[in-house]
Structure 1
């Protein structure tokens, strides 16, 4: 994906909206984020909803010399973005980009003035819509022109922050994507159902529970997630729990860390601390103290 320390505000918008990936979890210290960056979300048109979870728009206009470092946890989704006024280190120098699922925290430095229009796909949505293998995008940001038809990319590259109603821009984006739409994909529908269940049922903490419940082999489940989501089912299960924990800490949950870990499916505090530190970048104790 390139240097996540300079990932731009793109990652920040991947953490909201409705659908199978859930809620507004993901932005660390969301109140502080909202003081520096304006975020708007719009639902997709019904005919694109099988693939698109939401549209999101970021705007920021910071004074000279002011830099806001936001930190964002990932979701098991891909994003298509049109980015103005920003260039990502390690990403192609073009405006229309595809960013795959990543498994580590984004560190985002926002400075100056900029605007991003993003399409957040449902888990597996980009792979199903465009006939891609999501594993090609895992941990990466690519020029959309490398994977999408020229007509789609050209239409999106004409998009700018003109001050037009967001609904008008959404219509332009969806008109560009609509030619890719096709009939149902049973495998993608299965992936969506599985991810939705992982989100809704917090008693699911092991891949074996998912395979047993649905009569799937572990190999079949892993292949589905590699093809459509780009990350494995074990990571998706852990990510849901971690977002819950971070949201609880941001909300001021004052339980002991051992109690918090147990409530969210960890068997011991040491394991919880390792997982939290690997994804968030600091220990849960330091994160809580930083509030």
Structure 2
């Protein structure tokens, strides 16, 4: 069963303007069964009850596929509620209106984990939201029903544990390679090029790109840049940035102008403007 470990204020890496989300939305995080840790990073929950117009939640998304069971008083992602959904990797800024009432129980798979778990070529699902049945067939209907009927998040986590544990695949050595490379990219800010990543892991750039497209759903260059942008947003949000030019160079941009262009294209405002809101 789940270890039922909660984080009252889970890390907000990737959530833009997290102070707004934390004021209006209840967030939590739960640890899945140990037997799923190879593929699943964590479970997450959000819930809200808002009067008035609500707000738009924006996220600089991670290279992960998410499975969600959602309910609420209005459609989301073009689907009537309640629904079980699979969210492919989102390459743009992820925006979703949060209004009325809603609740979501989500599964965040590790980068490449969903492809290894299901055998799906997740590159075909990038930037798409699909019914859960696209991944798990008719059995998804019973899972959605059971999760929706369960009250506490701990009970929902236990149901998801059981569902996924029944479907654990054989170990995939190629996925192990992909996961090791992704962890290296995310954990080492000095790793800034696909060439360097391929050389460090003793494979050709072409092989690296093919593996990422199949398992992660996006190329290694995208994962590299997104990891560094996550680093930038996190440091700005935590107040650890005093010089944006130095930050740009430290995270691998050629100069501050290139960093500002990439940051603005994704976040919707310049690094200076985003930092100034604090």
What SS does structure 1 have at the residue aligned with 2:136?
A: coil
Q: Which moved more, 1:168-177 or 1:248-257?
A: 248-257
Q: Secondary structure at the match of 1:170?
A: helix
Which whole-Å CA distance do the structure 1 matches of 2:91 and 2:240 have between them?
A: 25
Please, which of 234, 243, 247 is the counterpart of residue 230 of structure 2? Answer: 243
Which runs of structure 2 are paired with 1:123-138 in the superposition (5 Å)?
123-138=111-126
- Taking the aligned partners of 1:146 and 1:134, their CA distance within structure 2 comes to 11
Distance in structure 1 (CA, Å) of the matches to 2:135 and 2:167: 12
Counterpart in the other structure of 1:281: 268
CA distance in 2, matches of 1:194, 1:273: 27
Q: Classify the secondary structure of the residue corresponding to 1:114.
A: strand
Q: Structure 1: which 5+ runs fail to align? A: 1-15, 18-22
SS in 1 for 2:96: strand
Match of 1:68 among 55, 64, 67: 55
**CA–CA separation in structure 2 for the residues paired with 1:238 and 1:146:** 29
Q: Determine whether 1:200 maps to 2:198.
A: no
Q: Distance in 2 between matches of 1:49 and 1:156?
A: 22
Going from structure 1 to structure 2, the CA distance change for 1:91 and 1:137 (only over 3 Å counts) comes to farther
In structure 2, C-alpha distance between the alignment counterparts of 1:110 and 1:93, rounded to whole Å:
14
Quick check: 2:77–2:129 contact (8 Å CA) kept in 1? no
**Matches of 1:275 and 1:29, distance apart in 2:** 18
In 2, Cα distance between equivalents of 1:178 and 1:94: 24
Task: Give me the CA root mean square deviation.
Answer: 1.8
Could you list the per-position Cα deviations for residues 53-80 of structure 1 after superposition, in whole angstroms to 9, with x for gaps in the alignment? 11111111112x1412222111000000
What residue number does 1:96 align with?
Answer: 84
- Give, in angstroms, the shift of residue 210 of structure 1: 0.7
**Cα contact 1:82–1:157 (8 A) shared by 2:** no
Contact 1:101 1:137 in 2 (8 A): yes
> For residues 106 and 162 of structure 1, what CA distance do their matches in structure 2 show?
28
Q: After TM superposition, list the pairs within 5 Å mapping 1:1-291 onto structure 2.
A: 24-63=12-51, 65-85=52-72, 86-91=74-79, 95-160=83-148, 162-164=150-152, 166-291=153-278
Residue aligned with 1:180, SS: coil
- Give TM-score, length-normalised by structure 2: 0.91
- For 1:93 and 1:59, the matched residues in 2 are separated by 14
Helix, strand or coil for the counterpart of 1:274? helix
Deviation at 1:133, TM superposition (A): 0.5
Q: Distance in 1 between matches of 2:122 and 2:71?
A: 25
- Structure 2: which 5+ runs fail to align? 1-8
Deviation, 1:159, is 1.7
Distance 1:117 1:214 in 2: 35
Is the contact made by 1:69 and 1:110 (CA closer than 8 Å) also made in structure 2? yes
1:13 equivalent in structure 2:
none
**Could you tell me whether the CA contact under 8 Å between 1:59 and 1:114 is conserved in 2?**
yes
Q: How far has the Cα of 1:254 moved from its partner?
A: 4.7
